[in-house]
Amino acid sequence: MPVDLQALYPKLVHLMLDTVFVVDGDNQILFVSDACETLLGYRADELTGTLITNYMHPDDLALTQASIMRVMSGQPHVDFRNRYLRKDGGIVHILWSARWSEEDGVRIGVARDVTALMEAEAELRFLAHHDPLTKLTNRSLFYDRLNSSLNAAHRHQSGLALLFIDINDFKGINDVYGHSTGDNLLCAVARRLEGCVRETDTVARMGGDEFTVLLTDIHSMEAVTRKIDQIITIMAEPLGAEFGGISMPSCSIGVACYPADGEDADTLLNHADSAMYRVKRRR
């Protein structure tokens, strides 16, 4: 017997994993498929008759209004992303495909939850420029920031300092207590170094147990010396109980200042690295 497709359409719509919205020209929701409860946490009957703009993230409202105007002018928008507020207060990232039905006077949209995708993309962008263990700036981004800071220092006739830091006897900790403890120690060092600098400064892990600190807008060597003393003092503080009584190792710090020790990134890095090894050998 022939299948009544017209009767099947509502069932098919409610079976979709994506959410179907039908909204009139005044932004009032006329219909929403069952999948919306998973998407936004609201049942269909809670949303019907309300304004769809009530659920948009306020920071995305202007951009979304522009997309709505585009769709209502007859230009379908099939790759629009924005954020909505869930019933439980959470935020969901949505990918939309929407078009205007002139004969019905309604906007038809299909919404897909891409929150996990957006979070994965953000994580990949973060990892491209940060050390995965300590979450500090990595070598590549640090080099970019150093070059940018050098250009700014040249324009404004200001100074900057580059600290190259090595954790003394770190290999011994790895060998005796294991790499897991070593990793936890590196993270502790990273947090302590971050606590010693301003928002305009940069702390990076260059690899292994080597870290760098970029101090911008420096006007005297005394300021650099005070910062080094602060780092040494903070690094000497005892580790938490989770380290089981392990002592925090000391560190060797080499310093290079712009413009006295070099005017380009490579020269400054080499100078600070060499200075650090001289300090380590004196131990």
For domain 130-282, the CATH architecture is 2-Layer Sandwich (3.30)
pLDDT of residue 8: 72
Tokens 């300092």 identify what position? Answer: 161
Q: Which CATH superfamily is domain 5-119 in?
A: PAS domain (3.30.450.20)
Within the chain, all domains assigned CATH 3.30.70.270 are found at 130-282
Going edge to edge, which strands form the sheet with 106-113? 29-32, 19-24, 106-113, 91-101, 77-85
pLDDT of residue 261: 94
- Mean pLDDT per 10-residue section of the chain, whose length is 283 residues: 69 89 96 96 96 97 96 94 97 97 95 96 95 96 96 94 95 90 95 95 96 94 94 92 87 96 95 94 82
In the residue annotation, 209 being an active-site residue is answered as yes
Tokens 């150093």 identify what position? Answer: 146
pLDDT of residue 6: 72
Helix (H) / strand (E) element for 185: namely: helix 179-194
Specify the pTM. Answer: 0.78
Within the chain, all domains assigned CATH 3.30.450.20 are found at 5-119
- What pLDDT, in 10s, does the model give residues 73-124? 999 999 999 999 999 999 999 999 999 999 999 999 999 999 999 999 999 9
Q: Please say whether the beta carbons of 210 and 134 come within 8 A.
A: no
pLDDT of residue 1: 59
Going edge to edge, which strands form the sheet with 251-258? 202-207, 210-218, 159-167, 251-258
Report CA-CA distances (Å) from 273 to 17, 102, 164, 201. Answer: 56, 69, 6, 19
Q: For strand 91-101 and strand 106-113, is the pairing parallel, antiparallel, or unpaired?
A: antiparallel
The two tokens of residue 75 are 């230009």
pLDDT of residue 228: 95
Give me the catalytic one of 60, 209, 261, 264: 209
